């Protein structure tokens, strides 16, 4: 190569921002994610485009965040408008959107009051603190135990991690918050055995998202509600992944009779911006007084305006109905694939939170789907998870099913997946060995 060529090559190298971004991430970022080398540079609706202009149908939505896909014109308008006004004012003052958003969330959830924060894990922390302080204010200082479910995922901060089940997430960071015990999902007898008047909270996901899209039975919910009422504990519904419309209802628990005492939301709430919220019945919310809990960033004007717009779009575009219809279409298509491929064990879920449970490892299929332009992921090594946007079209669902059909057909069959003697058993063995 002559000198001119070398200079041109060096220039191109320097000028490729995607390659530079990947290089810098590898060199300077902490090693917390196993990332694909793809760089996404823009999106429109249900599609994302990478650095080379290749188009992908996004059925992961930034892990249940982009519920309206990318660049919804109404969200773009609100973001432009508010960012030119004020993005942050602190919680020492009011702004135009926090009160109205709290009102709207109370209306759709059946809760009375709202606290705003920035993420799912922070909302869980707020809910656990609220349950503890409410017990204390009622004179039950000893009521501190917390029940959570096997296969649960509630976040990465210490409190949320303490109620998160997989040993691999918790063990490296122990000691965690004491007093947590896990109950097998849908095992009413175990729930009854572990519940008593030392419990201040039980934390539940009515559809376990990270855990592998496992739905809760109505018997389990009803008994948890009864026991929480009987022992004066808080029933906390974690709706961070399954809530705000994803099941075709505003809240997953609306499938059951009886409300939680506290519910938490985050992921899709502010149309892609970080916003979480703790929603509670007055009988619990009243335990909080100024200074007991707070957040610098929680519920700023930009995020709250975006959340109000997100909730209005769901209503105006009749998206809960679309979630139900497209969800039924997707699950029917996946069941047809299940009849064709014997390594599909089960199709689970409701609305647009769907899991395809495989008897083999899921990752090769996820990678093959990505190379064919479909973004999905895999939880617990063997459950393919699909979280399409609420405004996904019939044609796009068909497109995803077509890609999956090809991928299931053409990918070299991975080795059978053997769960670690059921995760429940390994965690029990670990607990017993301590």
Q: Which residues lie near ligand PLP (CB under 6 A)?
A: 63, 119-121, 124, 153-155, 205, 209-210, 238, 240-241, 266
CA distance 290 to 52: 51
- Identity of the residue, 154 or 331, whose beta carbon is nearer to ligand PLP in the bound complex: 154
The minimum distance between CB 229 and ligand PLP, in angstroms, equals: 23
What H or E segment, with its residue span, contains residue 113? strand 113-117
- Identity of the residue, 154 or 225, whose beta carbon is nearer to ligand PLP in the bound complex: 154
Q: Minimal CB distance to ligand PLP: which residue?
A: 120
Using N-to-C axis directions, what is the helix angle for 3-15 and 17-28, rounded to 10°?
Answer: 70
- Identity of the residue, 124 or 185, whose beta carbon is nearer to ligand PLP in the bound complex: 124
Q: What is the DSSP string of 138-152?
A: TT-TT--EEEEETT-
Which of 201, 209, 269 minimizes the C-alpha distance to 236?
Answer: 201
- Identity of the residue, 264 or 358, whose beta carbon is nearer to ligand PLP in the bound complex: 264
- Identity of the residue, 109 or 121, whose beta carbon is nearer to ligand PLP in the bound complex: 121
The minimum distance between CB 156 and ligand PLP, in angstroms, equals: 6
The minimum distance between CB 254 and ligand PLP, in angstroms, equals: 17
- Identity of the residue, 208 or 396, whose beta carbon is nearer to ligand PLP in the bound complex: 208
Residue 331, token pair as written in the block: 């699950």
Q: Which phi and psi (to 5°) does residue 148 adopt?
A: -140, 180
- Identity of the residue, 265 or 368, whose beta carbon is nearer to ligand PLP in the bound complex: 265
CA distance 225 to 229: 6
Q: What angle do CA 310, 202, 240 make, to 5 degrees?
A: 20
CA distance 206 to 90: 33
Q: Which phi and psi (to 5°) does residue 58 adopt?
A: -95, 100
CA distance 221 to 211: 18
The minimum distance between CB 276 and ligand PLP, in angstroms, equals: 7
8 A C-beta contact, residue 378 and residue 388 = no
The minimum distance between CB 64 and ligand PLP, in angstroms, equals: 7
Chain position carrying tokens 């994803």: 246
- Identity of the residue, 65 or 227, whose beta carbon is nearer to ligand PLP in the bound complex: 65
Residue 56, token pair as written in the block: 């992908």
DSSP at 428? H
The minimum distance between CB 80 and ligand PLP, in angstroms, equals: 25
The minimum distance between CB 122 and ligand PLP, in angstroms, equals: 7
Q: Which phi and psi (to 5°) does residue 347 adopt?
A: -115, 125
The minimum distance between CB 209 and ligand PLP, in angstroms, equals: 4
């Amino acid at each position: 190569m002559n000198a001119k060529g070398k200079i041109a090559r060096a220039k191109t190298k320097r000028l490729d921002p995607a390659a530079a971004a990947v290089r810098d991430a590898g060199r300077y970022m902490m090693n917390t994610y196993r990332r694909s080398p793809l760089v996404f540079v823009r999106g429109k609706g249900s599609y994302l485009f990478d650095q080379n202009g290749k188009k992908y149908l996004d059925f992961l939505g930034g892990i249940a965040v982009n519920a309206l896909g990318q660049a919804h014109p109404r969200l773009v308008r609100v973001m432009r408008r508010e960012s030119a006004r004020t993005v942050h004012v602190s919680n020492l003052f009011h702004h135009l959107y926090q009160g109205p958003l709290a009102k709207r969330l109370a209306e759709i959830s059946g809760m009375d009051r709202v606290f705003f924060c920035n993420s799912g894990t922070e909302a869980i922390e707020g809910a656990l603190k609220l349950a503890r302080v409410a017990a204390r204010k009622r004179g039950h200082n000893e009521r501190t135990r917390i029940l959570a479910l096997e296969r649960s995922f509630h976040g990465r901060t210490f409190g949320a991690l303490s109620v998160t089940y997989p040993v691999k997430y918790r063990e490296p960071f122990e000691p965690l918050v004491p007093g947590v015990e896990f109950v097998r999902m849908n095992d009413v007898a175990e729930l009854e055995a572990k519940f008593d008047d030392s419990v201040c909270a039980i934390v539940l996901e009515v559809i376990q998202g990270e855990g592998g899209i496992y739905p809760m039975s109505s018997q389990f919910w009803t008994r948890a509600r009864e026991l929480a009422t009987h022992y004066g504990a808080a029933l906390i519904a974690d709706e961070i992944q399954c809530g705000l419309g994803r099941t075709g209802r505003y809240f997953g628990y609306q499938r059951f009779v009886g409300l939680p005492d506290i519910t938490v939301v985050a992921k899709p709430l502010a149309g892609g911006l970080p916003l979480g919220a703790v929603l509670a019945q007055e009988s619990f919310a009243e335990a909080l007084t100024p200074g007991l809990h707070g957040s610098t960033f929680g519920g700023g004007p930009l995020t709250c305006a975006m959340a109000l717009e997100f909730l209005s779009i769901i209503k105006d575009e009749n998206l809960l109905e679309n979630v139900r219809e497209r969800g039924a279409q997707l699950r029917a298509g996946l069941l047809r694939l299940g009849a064709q491929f014997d390594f599909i064990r089960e199709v689970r879920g409701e609305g647009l939170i769907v899991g395809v449970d495989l008897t083999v490892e899921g990752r090769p299929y996820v990678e093959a789907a990505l190379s064919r332009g479909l973004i999905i992921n895999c939880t617990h090594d063997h459950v393919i998870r699909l979280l399409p946007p609420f405004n996904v079209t019939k044609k796009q669902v068909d497109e995803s099913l077509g890609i999956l059909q090809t991928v299931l057909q053409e990918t070299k069959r991975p080795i059978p997946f053997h769960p670690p003697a059921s995760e429940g058993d390994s965690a029990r063995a670990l607990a017993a060995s301590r």
